[in-house]
Amino acid sequence: MANNYLTFYKQLPKRFVEMGSVCPSSRWLAKDMVRPLAEKVGAKRILEVGAGTGPFTRKILAEMGPDDTLSICEINAFLLNQLKKSLEGNSHYLAHKDRIVFVRGSIEDLPSLYPDAEFDVIVSGLPFSNFSPNDVENILNLLCKMLAKNGCLSFFEYIGIRKFGNFAPSAKHRARIRGVESIIRKWKLEASRSGAVTTNISLLNIPPALAVHYVRSDGPNSNSPLVN
């Protein structure tokens, strides 16, 4: 665990935009994020995007079944290499190693790498508060398109991000944070009409966070973008 924090803080000054937080996600948030995986039965196709130092990865590995597959996507090459090294001593990783694939790249690369893939569980560790509103909209829509029927997409948002945004250094930054919050709020409203949206509050995370889970319905056009 100490090595994970050290890796995180080594990269933070260089890659804050990619990492989007001042602390790695806590084990409490990881538990909330992976809850849908623990509840699903049968063979599952799992995708993790924005793995970072692996707080969600380790919880996913602990919940994986003998027939599950996992694809781990991370854009930061240093973090991905460090994650691979740190997992070599993880018993859960070793048990599932033959069914795990590492992808170094951005989320936009995934459709070409997995053109026909439909994932039963998608766990996103992407720091939406550091993206533009347009990017957040596009990412959420792309992840929804990759969901299988009855598949679950989980992501998180920091609680009170707009209040934190009031201390941003410029009006441009404040407007971006407000825009991201607006996109996520609109997305959850639209998603609740095409599936089920539930949330879990993780107050012990730094900062406190909300895990959001969207389960895609079997209805017509439920695989289409949710935000227009």
pLDDT at 220 over 90: no
Mean pLDDT of the chain: 84
Return the ∠ at Cα 180 (arms to 177 and 183), rounded to 5°.
150
Q: What's the pLDDT at 164?
A: 55
Q: What is the mean pLDDT of residues 173-185?
A: 88
CA 25 to chain centre: 11
Q: What's the pLDDT at 19?
A: 36
Q: What's the pLDDT at 130?
A: 83
- 3-state SS assignment for residue 197: strand
Q: What's the pLDDT at 173?
A: 78
Q: Please give the residue that has the higher pLDDT: either 185 or 5.
A: 185
Burial class of 22 by CB neighbour count within 10 A (0 to 12, 13 to 18, 19+): exposed
Q: Model confidence over 66-120: pLDDT tens digits?
A: 999 999 999 999 999 999 999 999 999 999 999 999 999 999 999 998 888 899 9
Q: Please give the residue that has the higher pLDDT: either 96 or 228.
A: 96
- State the helix-helix crossing angle for 27-39 and 55-63, rounded to 10 degrees: 30
pLDDT at 57 over 50: yes
What band does 4 get if pLDDT is binned at 50, 70 and 90? very low
Q: What's the pLDDT at 129?
A: 83
For residues 152 and 121, what is the distance between their CA atoms, to the nearest angstrom? 5
Q: How many CA atoms lie within 13 A of 80 on its CB side?
A: 17
Q: Model confidence over 123-163: pLDDT tens digits?
A: 999 989 889 999 999 999 999 999 999 999 999 998 866 55
Q: What is the mean pLDDT of residues 166-183?
A: 79
Can you tell me which residue has the tokens 């090459």?
77
Sign (positive/negative) of CA torsion 16, 35, 159, 106? Answer: positive
pLDDT at 14 over 90: no
What band does 46 get if pLDDT is binned at 50, 70 and 90? very high
Closest to 72 in 3D by CA, of 98, 50, 52, 102: 102
